[in-house]
Each structure stands twice: as C-alpha cells, then as structure tokens.
Amino acid sequence: RVGLRKHSSISRVLLGGIFNKGFSTQTGSKLEGKVALITGAASGIGKATATKFINNGAKVIIADVQQELGQETAKELGPNAAFIACDVTKESDVSNAVDFAISKYNQLDIMYNNAGIACQSPASIVDLDLAVFDKVMNINVRGVMAGIKHASRVMIPRRRGSILCTASITGVMGGLSQHTYSVSKSSIVGIVRSLASELCHHGIRINCISPFAIPTPLVTDELTRLYQGADSETIIGVVNRLGTLEGAYCEPIDIANAALYLASDDAKYVSGHNLVVDGGFTVFKSLALPAPDKVEK
Ligand code: NAD
C-alpha cells in the first residue's frame, strides 16, 4: 500500500517538512481577529493546527509542557504565535494560560484542548496498571476538563466561543489500542456531549475530533520502543499502512483542517459533535467470503 507517492511523503515527514509543507502556504481569513489557545501545540497535530489557524488570521497561544520546543515552535510560526509553559495536569497552569490570552489579546475565542499522551500498558484488564491509568487520565481527561473549565470562565461573559478537544478513533471503537488510552479518549466524546448541554445556553460551541493514527512523536516513540532497532522511516511506514482509504494517509494537516472548520463560523451551528477523521476506517469491516470452490462444510 505504500506507493511512490507515500514514500516521497514519508521522506517529507523525516525532513520535518510535513509540519510546514502543504498547509503553511495555504492562507485564508476564516479566523481573522480571533484568538486561539492550543494545548500540546509544540508538536504534531497541535503545531499543524496552530500553523493553520495563524494562516487564517488568528493569533495563537501555544501552551505546552515542553518549554524549549514550544518556544522554538512559536518562533518558527512568527509574530502571531506566543508560547506559554503549561502542564495541563496543573489547574493553575491552565488557568494562567487562559489569563495570558486575555492579558495579551483581551479575548479568547477558541480553546483547543489537544495535549495528550499515549502509554504502554498490558493488553489484558487483569494486568491493568492503575498508576499508569491515573497518569493517562490525569493528562488526557482531567487536563481537558481543566481547559474547558477555564475557557468557559472567560467565554461565558462574552456569550461566544468555540471549544475543541482531541479524542481518537480508539475511543470510538474498542480494540484499537490498549484499554487505558482507549478509555481516556472515549471519555472525551462523553465530556463534549455533557458540556455542550450547558455551554449551548451561553452561545458557546464545543466539539471534538477523533483522528486516525498519525506518525507524530506520540505514536512513533511508542512504536520505536516496540520495534527496537527499526529506523524512523520503517516506523512511519508501519503507521501509514494501517489505514483503509486507498491513495491517502492521515496527516496532522487533516486534523488541522477539521479544527479550522469546527473553530470557524463555517460550523456556527455545530456543537456536541465528534468529527471522526479516519478515511472511513471505523464505519465498516469487510467480510472476506471464501471462493465458491473453497467453501467448507
Ligand atoms: P505529539 O506528541 O506530537 O504532541 C503532543 C503534545 O502534547 C506534545 O507537544 C507534548 O509536549 C504535549 N503534552 C503532553 N503532556 C502534556 C501536559 N501534561 N501538558 C501540556 N502539554 C502536554 O502527538 P500528537 O499526535 O500531535 O497528539 C496530540 C493529540 O492527538 C493527543 O491528545 C493525542 O492523544 C491525540 N491523537 C493522536 C493520534 C495520533 O495517531 N498521533 C491519533 C488520535 C488522537
């Protein structure tokens, strides 16, 4: 399935070009005058979305626990990007990041709760490591709740805003990852539904995006540990061959495009939604019928 087009794109990934090419030159004005705060935006999906938002007229605050990388990313994205150190497990950090947006730009229009981690965890529930479970839920779920809480604090008085969260197809379907990560991501879908019921009364929309597998550090670091000795091109090839949609694979730009839609007025009547970006992977399973001469009694 990895054809020539895919190989050339894999090389782009390895050169770091995937986070710049393909979308940095595509500009628009869908977010003109808007201010966005994106957690976990030093890298991967968050960085691609920050780039997309800036190219559509937004000012973006990159909030991430990785300080050096976050600062580099903000510098790379130019004057409309700013970095603030933020560990989403610390409510005060999340609160400060929101207050930073207000003090710097006087408003917060878009809050994208995207920071998350993967984990290695035994396959069986009987071997579940509850310390790992707590750590993952602390970042992937509690961190998202903190983001929604503090974004709502400043959005409710303005009676407008768009809140986004990154869920995952592993939260849509069972069996796509170990339980801990899967449970953390299915929680996001529930959080969005629950919060939509309150925030709609204040004119605030909340939605999540469920991406398919993308070879960002979150995934490649885990697979590098699993396939010890495999080079990064091999690892990226493994991830990109997981999909079912012929001729394409899931990239950070696909999630950035979904985020732009949900954050902008294009989605002005969309709330409580889980936008699955998976090339159709979770909606079907092909039945491999045996050939007529191979049917067993
Ligand atoms: P990534 O590793 O490139 O980015 C994750 C970012 O989150 C990093 O910059 C990291 O420093 C930051 N982060 C981690 N813990 C944090 C904390 N406590 N506080 C603040 N920032 C923190 O990976 P990514 O794929 O871009 O991940 C972004 C989101 O997408 C995650 O929520 C992930 O679960 C989700 N997701 C990823 C995939 C995939 O295949 N890559 C698929 C579905 C969902």
Rounded to the nearest angstrom, the distance between the alpha carbon of 255 and the centre of ligand 1 is 12
Residue nearest to atom 7 of ligand 1 (CA): 40
Residue nearest to atom 30 of ligand 1 (CA): 166
Query: What is the reported pLDDT for 120?
Result: 84
- Model-level ipTM above the cut of 0.90: yes
Is residue 263 scored above 70 in pLDDT? yes
- Binning pLDDT at 50, 70 and 90, where does residue 254 land? very high
Rounded to the nearest angstrom, the distance between the alpha carbon of 45 and the centre of ligand 1 is 7
Mean pLDDT over 247-262 rounds to: 98
DSSP string, 162-189: EEEEE--GGGTSTTSS-HHHHHHHHHHH
Residue nearest to atom 31 of ligand 1 (CA): 116
- pLDDT over 70 percentage in the chain: 92
Query: What is the reported pLDDT for 280?
Result: 97
Q: Please choose from 172, 218, 235 the residue to mutate so as to test ligand 1's pocket, defined by most ligand atoms within 8 A of CB.
A: 218
- Binning pLDDT at 50, 70 and 90, where does residue 125 land? very high
Query: What is the reported pLDDT for 286?
Result: 86
Mean pLDDT over 43-63 rounds to: 98
- pLDDT over 90 percentage in the chain: 86
112 among known catalytic residues: no
- Binning pLDDT at 50, 70 and 90, where does residue 25 land? low
Least confident of 24-28, 71-75, 197-201, 286-290: 24-28
DSSP string, 220-255: HHHHHHHTTT--HHHHHHHHHTS--STT----HHHH
Query: What is the reported pLDDT for 6?
Result: 38
**Strand ranges across the sheet with 110-113:** 81-85, 59-64, 35-39, 110-113, 161-166, 204-211, 274-277
What is the Cα–Cα distance from 12 to 244, expressed in whole angstroms? 22
What is the Cα–Cα distance from 24 to 57, expressed in whole angstroms? 12
If you ran DSSP here, which 8-state letter would residue 57 be given? T
Cβ atoms 238, 223 nearer than 8 A: yes
- Name the one residue in this structure whose structure tokens are 């004005």: 29
- Binning pLDDT at 50, 70 and 90, where does residue 121 land? confident
Rounded to the nearest angstrom, the distance between the alpha carbon of 150 and the centre of ligand 1 is 20
Is residue 10 scored above 90 in pLDDT? no
Query: What is the reported pLDDT for 122?
Result: 86
Q: What is the pLDDT of residues 222-253, one digit of tens each?
A: 999 999 989 999 999 999 999 999 999 999 99
Mean pLDDT over 112-140 rounds to: 95
Q: What is the pLDDT of residues 144-190, one digit of tens each?
A: 999 999 999 999 999 999 999 999 999 999 999 999 999 999 999 99
Query: What is the reported pLDDT for 158?
Result: 98
DSSP string, 104-116: HHS---EEEE---
Query: What is the reported pLDDT for 18?
Result: 41
Query: Which ligand 1 atom lies nearest to the CA of residue 255?
Result: 30
**Residue among 159, 165, 167 at smallest CA distance from 147:** 165
